[in-house]
Structures are given as structure tokens and as C-alpha cells.
Amino acid sequence: MKLPHPASLTTRLGLLFALIATLTFAGVGTYLYQSLTSQLESHDDLELIGKIALIRHFLLETSSVKEIQDDPHRFLDVAAVHDGLIIILKSADGNILMQNHSDHGALSTLPVAAANQTPGKASLGRWTLNPGLSARTVSAWGVLGNTHEQVQIIVARTDSDRMALLRAHRNKVFAAVFFGALLAALSGYIVVRQGLRPIRAIAKQAQSITAQRLEMRLDVTAAPKELQMLVLAFNDMLDRLHRSFQRLSQFSADLAHDLRTPINNLMVQTQVALSQPRSIEDYQSLLASNEEEYERLARMVENMLFLARADHANFVLNKQRLDPYNELQHIADYFEGIAEDAQVQLAVDARGSLEADPILFRRAVNNLVANAIRYTPKGGVVRLATQPMQEGMAITVTNPGIGITPKHIPLIFDRFYRGDDARSDSASSTGLGLAIVQSIMMLHGGRAEVESAPDAMTTFRLVFPSSS
Ligand SMILES: Nc1ncnc2c1ncn2[C@@H]1O[C@H](COP(=O)(O)OP(=O)(O)O)[C@@H](O)[C@H]1O
Ligand SMILES: [Mg+2]
């Protein structure tokens, strides 16, 4: 079979894996990058504070400002100045005494730590020397040993080497994220493919089920836990299909059988009549007897057609609000003659109202009443009543009699199902009456049910839901 082309689950999960891996790696990478950045920064800050201490010590051993101005290199040597380090000394009145870097734009405006203080957070910070060059910087007062003159010390460390280091690190993180995601996508794809194997196995099993092998079921024990529900549901569906299929086969067999009997009767009677010359009266009685069979056939075909139409989803109901008392009384009047012949009484006890298609309502109740009269012994009473229910209104038809044995109860609503005694009475019984009742109730969104105790009371109940 040609499959449509939706995104494959494997690809989708593989990509999702890759996305999750990318986000996770990127998050972890960013975190590590940030912590490396701040660690390097605080490392630099410690170096700056160390330089301040060193320079203060040197100043204490220096007798005058002039000494610094005269030989700045000696000073720089002592301070172990390297490439990225900028040192500026200013006198208390703001004159620059010494600097190893002149291209520094505006000087940092950070607070200056007092001479007797180790510089803290407040005097540490970033200083943009000029566009493209920034530095960590700290500033503190130092004191000359001899004159006790105050000198401002500014130490800065340019960021460029740190930045280069971080850049290299960042590139490594990018590469790791990229390859990590690729690896995750690939392994995700493989893992998902592997994980979906049971589905393919189930599909293969399902493929081998055909109409001739509807009794086959998928193997629940072989399915993984997550798929067991699906497999069970599928097996349930097969059960239902199997039953429907069997019923359908049974239905065609019954239909053929039920059509054969009247047609055979017609054929045999006609053949016998034609085998020798007959009187007009003989022909007339033959035709009269044939008419009965034709009526039976016509009724059967009409019932079949009704059931076929009711099976269609587009059957239109003409729902109306009905007064059950009027309706049941009307039906009782209609059956009066038949009931009298059978020496059975009809009693109506109804109130309330319900919503139904009037023609179908009458047809359903008629079928029940016809059955009830047939199975009620002489002198019995068939009761037609209403029964308010939670979901709406029910009509009940109750009769005394032989009842229905429990094992037959699930079958009596099936098409062509007839009790053994009804089967012999083939002129009036087609076995479609209750099937039609059932169909009508389905059309109304309601249900038909029966309660029966053998040799006691049988009650058929039609539940019409109230439209909310
Ligand atoms: N009131 C009843 N009491 C006992 N059995 C009944 C009653 N109504 C129906 N049945 C049983 O249900 C079967 C199916 O009924 P139905 O579908 O109306 O077919 P039919 O009336 O043509 O036999 C009947 O053959 C009979 O065995
Ligand atoms: Mg019937």
C-alpha cells in the first residue's frame, strides 16, 4: 500500500533529541563560559590588589616624588610590570608623576581606596581606555615614607589576553555543542528506530488478518507496555468486527432461508394446480392462498428495506412532542379486534410526554404489542404504560406468558431471530419485529431492553431520551 508522507516519527524524535541536546549543551556551555569569565576577572582583580600592595610598599621606601619621576623604570621593574599592565602615579594635586601607558583617554573615575585600606569592590571596576580597549582597574592612595605625602596609584590590566582566551574557549564550546547535537540526533534516531520495532511487528501481524481469518488476534504479550492498550483496543475491535461479520453471514443465510419457504410454497402449489385441469373455484382458492404468501413476502421485503434505510446515517427523524396516553390508547384501539380474538385484554396507564417521530414510535410499539398479544395466554392482560427515567421517558409493554429464557435474551433483537415456537408459526412471524424496534430506538438515540422471568412477566422497555 502507498503511504501518505507525513513527517516520520523517527525523524521527528531524532530532531527533537537534537534540539534538546543543543539547548542543554548551549545552556551548560554558556554557564561554564560565564563562570570562566568571572573567575578570570576575579583572578585579574587579585593581581591588581597585589600590585597595589607592592607599589605601596615601594612608596614607603621612596623618599620623594622626585625620585620616582627621575627613574620610573626602576619603579616599573620593582612592580614587575608586564605587557598588559598599566600603572599611573599621580600626586595629591592631580599631576601625573609617572605612567607606562599614555593612550588612556579619560582616567577612571572609580573611588580611590584610602591609604590604610586594602582596595575593595568599590574601587575595582572596568575602565574603557579607548574604543576597543578596556581594562580592569583599581585605584588607591599610597604614602611616601619620608614626607608622608599622598600619591594616587592607578593600576589597570587590559582585557585583550583574557578576551582572546575566552574567544578560544567559546569556539570550543560552539564546536562541542554542534557535534554533541549531531551525535544526539544520530543516536536518538537509532534509539527511536529500535524502539519502534514492536510497532512494525504489530503492523505485520495486523496485515495478515483478513475476512477469512477474523478470528486471529494480535499478540498482547509481545507488545511493549505502552502499546498494550492499543493492541487490546485493536483486538476488541476485531472481536466486534468478527461478531458483526458472523451476524451478517448469518443474516444472509437466514434471509435466503426465509425467502425460500414462501417461494417454495408458491411454486409447489402452482405446480400441483397446473398438473391437471381445475375448476374455477380451485383456481380461486389457489390464488387466495398465494395472496397470503405474497403478503408475507411483501411484508418481509418492506421490513428489510426499512432496516436497510435505518442503517443509513442520513435517515431523517421527524421528532415531535407526543402525548403517550393518546398514542398508547390509539394503539390499544387498533389492536382491539386482534386482542379480542386472542381473548386478551389491553390496559393503558400513561402520563407525561416524550419526543419521538410519531410514525416510528407507533411502529415500534405496534411490534411490541403484536408480540405481547401473541405470547399472552387466554384471559391475560397486556399492559401499556409510561415510566419516567433519569434520561427521559420510557414506554413499557408488559405481558404474562412463557417468557424468554435468559440465554435467548441477548439474541431476540437480532434480525431473523425467532423463538422455536414462533418459527413454526411462519405465516405471521418473520423475526424482524424486534430488530426494527431496536433500529428505531437507535435512531432516537435511546434503547430497547427486555426483562423476562420464564413463565411469569415479560416487560419490553423503550427508553426515549429527552432532548436537552
Ligand atoms: N412478549 C414476548 N414473550 C415471549 N417471547 C417473546 C416476546 N416478544 C418476542 N419474543 C421472542 O422474540 C422473538 C423475536 O421477536 P420478533 O423479532 O418480533 O419476531 P417475530 O415476532 O416475527 O417472531 C420471538 O420469536 C419470540 O421468541
Ligand atoms: Mg414480532
For residue 61 the three cell numbers come to: 621606601
For residue 33, the domain's CATH number is 3.30.450
Kindly report the protein residue whose alpha carbon is nearest to atom 1 of ligand 1.
372
Residue 233 φ/ψ region, left for φ over 0, alpha for ψ in the -120 to 50 degree band, beta for the rest: alpha
pLDDT at 248: 80
Q: Cα of 228 to ligand 2 centre, how many Å?
A: 44
Q: How far apart are CA 227 and CA 220, in angstroms?
A: 9
Q: Cα of 224 to ligand 1 centre, how many Å?
A: 47
Q: Cα of 328 to ligand 2 centre, how many Å?
A: 18
Residue with cell string 461478531 = 243
pLDDT at 223: 83
Q: Cα of 418 to ligand 1 centre, how many Å?
A: 6
Which stretch of 105-114, 316-325, 401-410 has the lowest confidence by average pLDDT? 105-114
Residue 274 placed within a domain: yes
Q: Is the model's pLDDT at 426 over the cut of 60?
A: no
Work out which ligand 1 atom sits closest to the CA atom of 417.
14
Measured from the Cβ of residue 332, the count of other Cβ atoms closer than 10 Å reads 18
For 430, the 3-state DSSP assignment is coil
- Do 381 and 338 lie in one domain? The reply is yes
Quickly state the pLDDT bin for 145 (edges 50, 70, 90): confident
pLDDT at 243: 84
Residue 301 placed within a domain: yes
Work out which ligand 1 atom sits closest to the CA atom of 420.
27
Interval 352-396: pLDDT, tens? 999 999 999 999 999 999 999 999 999 999 999 999 999 999 999
Residue 182 placed within a domain: no
For residue 188 the three cell numbers come to: 536518538
- Do 295 and 355 lie in one domain? The reply is no
pLDDT at 444: 95
- Do 447 and 325 lie in one domain? The reply is yes
Residue 413 placed within a domain: yes
Q: Residue 47 burial by CB count (10 A; 0-12/13-18/19+): exposed, middle or buried?
A: middle
Q: What is the DSSP letter of 237?
A: H
Quickly state the pLDDT bin for 3 (edges 50, 70, 90): low
Interval 255-276: pLDDT, tens? 888 888 889 989 999 999 999 9
Kindly report the protein residue whose alpha carbon is nearest to atom 24 of ligand 1.
418
User: Among the three residues 310, 334, 356, which one is the final residue of a domain in this structure?
Assistant: 310
Domain count, the chain: 3
Quickly state the pLDDT bin for 22 (edges 50, 70, 90): confident
Residue with cell string 396507564 = 349
Residue 142 placed within a domain: yes
- For residue 428, the ligand closest to its alpha carbon is 1
Per-residue pLDDT, averaged over 174-194, amounts to 86
Per DSSP, helices labelled H in 61-159 are 65-70, 72-78
Strand bridging mode 345-349 / 381-389: parallel
Q: Exposure string (b/e) for 97-131, b if CB count within 10 Å is 16 or more? A: bbeeeeebeebbebebbebeeebeeebbbebebee
Residue with cell string 433500529 = 439
Nearest partner of 459 among 371, 358, 392, judged by Cα: 371
Quickly state the pLDDT bin for 285 (edges 50, 70, 90): very high
Work out which ligand 1 atom sits closest to the CA atom of 375.
3
Q: Cα of 270 to ligand 2 centre, how many Å?
A: 29
**Residue 292 main-chain phi, psi, to 5 deg:** -60, -45
Q: Which amino acid is at 167?
A: R
pLDDT at 293: 86
pLDDT at 425: 56
pLDDT at 278: 92
For residue 66 the three cell numbers come to: 622626585
**Contacts for 164-168: CB closer than 8 Å, 24+ residues apart:** 165/40, 166/33, 166/36, 166/37, 166/40
For residue 250, the domain's CATH number is 1.10.287
132 contacts 62 by C-beta, under 8 angstroms = no
pLDDT at 2: 59
Work out which ligand 1 atom sits closest to the CA atom of 371.
8
Nearest partner of 440 among 282, 317, 295, judged by Cα: 317
- Do 157 and 14 lie in one domain? The reply is yes
For residue 233 the three cell numbers come to: 483496543
Higher-pLDDT residue of 109 and 325 is 325
Residue with cell string 534516531 = 189
- Do 383 and 322 lie in one domain? The reply is yes
Per-residue pLDDT, averaged over 143-155, amounts to 87
Q: Cα of 416 to ligand 2 centre, how many Å?
A: 10
User: Among the three residues 310, 329, 349, which one is the final residue of a domain in this structure?
Assistant: 310
Q: Which H/E stretch holds residue 81?
A: none
367 contacts 433 by C-beta, under 8 angstroms = yes
Kindly report the protein residue whose alpha carbon is nearest to atom 27 of ligand 1.
419
Q: Exposure string (b/e) for 248-278, b if CB count within 10 Å is 16 or more? A: eeebeebeeebeeebeebbeebeeebeeeee
pLDDT at 4: 64
Distances in whole angstroms, Cα of residue 315 to Cα of each of 335, 359, 442, 464? 29, 14, 11, 17
Q: Which H/E stretch holds residue 85?
A: strand 85-91
Greatest mean pLDDT among 122-136, 141-155, 205-219, 323-337: 323-337
pLDDT at 315: 86
Q: Which amino acid is at 54?
A: L
- Do 71 and 158 lie in one domain? The reply is yes
Query: Which residues are bridge partners to 462 per DSSP?
Result: 395, 448
User: Among the three residues 310, 336, 361, which one is the final residue of a domain in this structure?
Assistant: 310
Name every protein residue with a CB atom under 6 angstroms from any ligand 1 atom. 367, 371-372, 375, 399, 401, 403-404, 412, 417-419, 422, 429-431, 433-435, 458
Domain residues for the domain of 136 are 9-167
Residue 181 placed within a domain: no
Nearest partner of 261 among 288, 299, 296, judged by Cα: 296
Query: Which residues are bridge partners to 459 per DSSP?
Result: 398, 451
Q: How far apart are CA 396 and CA 410, in angstroms?
A: 18
Q: Considering the chain, what percentage of its residues have pLDDT values greater than 90?
A: 35
Work out which ligand 1 atom sits closest to the CA atom of 418.
25
Q: Is the model's pLDDT at 105 over the cut of 80?
A: no
pLDDT at 431: 85
Residue 78 placed within a domain: yes
Q: How far apart are CA 209 and CA 345, in angstroms?
A: 55
Higher-pLDDT residue of 446 and 19 is 446
- Do 21 and 146 lie in one domain? The reply is yes
Work out which ligand 1 atom sits closest to the CA atom of 436.
17
For residue 410, the domain's CATH number is 3.30.565.10
- Do 237 and 373 lie in one domain? The reply is no
- For residue 453, the ligand closest to its alpha carbon is 1
- Do 150 and 248 lie in one domain? The reply is no
Kindly report the protein residue whose alpha carbon is nearest to atom 19 of ligand 1.
431
Q: Cα of 361 to ligand 2 centre, how many Å?
A: 15
Mean pLDDT over the full length of the chain: 87
Nearest partner of 290 among 314, 317, 272, judged by Cα: 272
Kindly report the protein residue whose alpha carbon is nearest to atom 8 of ligand 1.
371
Per DSSP, helices labelled H in 275-356 are 280-311, 324-334, 336-341
- In testing the pocket of ligand 1, which one of 261, 363, 434, 440 has its CB within 8 Å of the most ligand atoms? 434
- Do 15 and 147 lie in one domain? The reply is yes
- Do 343 and 306 lie in one domain? The reply is no
Residue 260 placed within a domain: yes
Kindly report the protein residue whose alpha carbon is nearest to atom 26 of ligand 1.
419
378 contacts 344 by C-beta, under 8 angstroms = yes
pLDDT at 458: 96
For residue 337 the three cell numbers come to: 379486534
Interval 293-317: pLDDT, tens? 898 889 888 988 898 888 777 888 9
Q: Cα of 31 to ligand 1 centre, how many Å?
A: 80
Q: How far apart are CA 395 and CA 366, in angstroms?
A: 12
- For residue 372, the ligand closest to its alpha carbon is 1
pTM: 0.55
pLDDT at 233: 92
Q: How far apart are CA 21 and CA 71, in angstroms?
A: 59
> Residues 450, 451, 454, 455: is their CA dihedral positive or negative?
negative
- Do 279 and 344 lie in one domain? The reply is no
